[in-house]
């Protein structure tokens, strides 16, 4: 069993810890936290060995036993997942390098933190045996997953994506906006396009970012020019076959992130997590161009707290050389139950796929 230490037990770290614990080939060596808050109590209650990122005194004063300091956790781990706030991972890098523990960083870090920016569907092999890997952000993960099969099957000439981003996670009470819709950043392209290019260096992509008063999910409006002219149904079948893409049939009546989250809670997902990209089937539209190319459109929702979690598990296997990409993804998905609970979702064969000609 591979021993995995998790440094940072917040929104991402606690989910990664639970996902690692569910795997058949890895175990949680411990988790590290800076603050003895409610999440530290959860770590203790779930039986994780808890290490202090800084002083142990605040933990003992709060009545929470700690197993030691983060240095001991890193030394006892075969791989460490750094899920500390953006920028802190870079500062932790010297410790991981000194103790020669391969490290996985998150998308809040600059791409220079690791030699590989990772998405399991797009570039798993590049991370095999690496010393360090950065799992790209929630938005870049969501884009990479949907772009990889389209690029492989049809070739992509150009991507234009507008990312309507949640203002903050539900627990981030200090974030906003609370009564506005912000172009964020105002300049174009937003930082997401260069980030996607860390995974697909040759891709032509422009992104525009917004922030809105919502906490549940991001919504992407994507338009891409394909180097072929599939039908909308072809594209829908292609995307439906991808395990981490959930094509939502119209008949479910899911009109946004609220119902999506309610659906996953009803289905018994832990924390109501949606690990998959959620693509609205009726948004999939293909408009043939005159020269053998086609414009393709879709809307997808991305659960920012959850979509990077299976990617972290795959990054652990890649960095440790435990499996090849397809094996790892299959093992991760089976252990987490990706595709389960929501498995009743099948392609909606009763509703004809709409293409531009029939679109009103």
Q: Which residues are catalytic?
A: 138
Please answer whether residues 263 and 345 qualify as being in contact, where contact means their C-beta atoms are separated by less than 8 angstroms.
Answer: no
Q: What is the dihedral of CA 294, 205, 284, 329, to 10 degrees?
A: 120
Distance, in Å, from the CA atom of 356 to the CA atom of 360, rounded to the nearest integer, reads 8
Give the binding range for ligand NAD (CB under 6 A) out of 10-18, 292-300, 333-341, 347-355: 10-18
Interface residue with ligand NAD among 84, 119, 264, 285 (CB under 6 A) is 84
Residue 7 engages ligand NAD in binding (rule: CB under 6 A): yes
DSSP string of 348-360, one letter each residue = -TTSPPP-GGG--
Q: State whether residue 300 is helix, strand or coil.
A: strand
Beta carbon nearer to ligand NAD, 8 or 102:
8
To ligand NAD, the closest distance from the beta carbon of 94 in angstroms equals: 13
Q: Which two tokens stand for residue 3?
A: 């021993």
Residue 199 engages ligand NAD in binding (rule: CB under 6 A): no
Interface residue with ligand NAD among 66, 73, 88, 133 (CB under 6 A) is 88
Give the binding range for ligand NAD (CB under 6 A) out of 142-150, 264-272, 304-312, 340-348: 304-312
Q: Which two tokens stand for residue 230?
A: 């599939």
Distance, in Å, from the CA atom of 269 to the CA atom of 327, rounded to the nearest integer, reads 23
24: CB partners within 8 A, 6+ apart: 331, 335
Residue 20 engages ligand NAD in binding (rule: CB under 6 A): no
Interface residue with ligand NAD among 138, 148, 161, 279 (CB under 6 A) is 138
To ligand NAD, the closest distance from the beta carbon of 84 in angstroms equals: 4
Binding site for ligand NAD (CB under 6 A): 7-13, 32-35, 39, 53, 83-86, 88, 106-109, 137-138, 169, 304-305, 308
């Amino acid at each position: 069993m591979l021993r995995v230490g998790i440094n940072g037990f917040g929104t991402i770290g606690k989910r990664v810890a639970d996902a690692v614990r569910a795997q058949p080939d890895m175990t949680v060596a411990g988790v590290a936290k800076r603050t003895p808050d409610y999440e530290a109590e959860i770590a203790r209650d779930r039986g994780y060995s808890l290490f202090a990122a800084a002083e142990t005194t605040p933990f003992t004063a709060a009545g929470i036993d700690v197993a030691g300091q983060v240095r001991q956790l890193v030394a006892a781990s075969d791989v460490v997942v750094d899920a500390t706030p953006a920028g802190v991972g870079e500062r932790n890098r010297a410790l991981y390098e000194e103790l020669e523990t391969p490290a996985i960083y998150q998308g809040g870090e600059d791409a220079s933190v690791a030699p590989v920016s990772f998405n399991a569907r797009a570039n798993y092999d590049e991370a095999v045996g690496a010393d360090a890997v950065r799992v790209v952000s929630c938005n870049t993960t969501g884009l990479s997953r949907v772009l990889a099969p389209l690029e492989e099957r049809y070739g992509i000439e150009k991507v234009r994506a507008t990312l309507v981003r949640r203002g903050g996670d539900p627990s981030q009470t200090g974030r906003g906006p609370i009564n506005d819709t912000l172009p964020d950043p105002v300049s174009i392209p937003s930082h997401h396009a260069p980030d996607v290019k860390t995974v697909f260096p040759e891709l032509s992509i422009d992104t525009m970012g917004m922030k809105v008063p919502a906490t549940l999910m991001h919504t992407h409006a994507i338009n891409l020019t394909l180097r072929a002219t599939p039908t909308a149904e072809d594209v829908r079948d292609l995307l439906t076959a991808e395990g981490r893409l959930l094509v939502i049939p119209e008949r479910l009546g899911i009109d946004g992130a609220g119902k999506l989250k309610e659906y996953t809670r009803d289905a018994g997902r832990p924390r109501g997590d949606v690990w998959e990209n959620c693509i609205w089937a009726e948004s999939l539209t293909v408009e043939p161009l005159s020269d053998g190319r086609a414009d393709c459109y879709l809307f997808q929702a991305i659960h920012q707290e959850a979509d990077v979690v299976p990617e972290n598990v795959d990054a652990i296997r890649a960095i440790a050389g435990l499996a090849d990409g397809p094996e790892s993804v299959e093992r991760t998905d089976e252990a987490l139950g990706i595709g389960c609970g929501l498995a009743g979702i099948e392609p909606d064969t009763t509703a004809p796929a709409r293409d531009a000609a029939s679109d009103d």
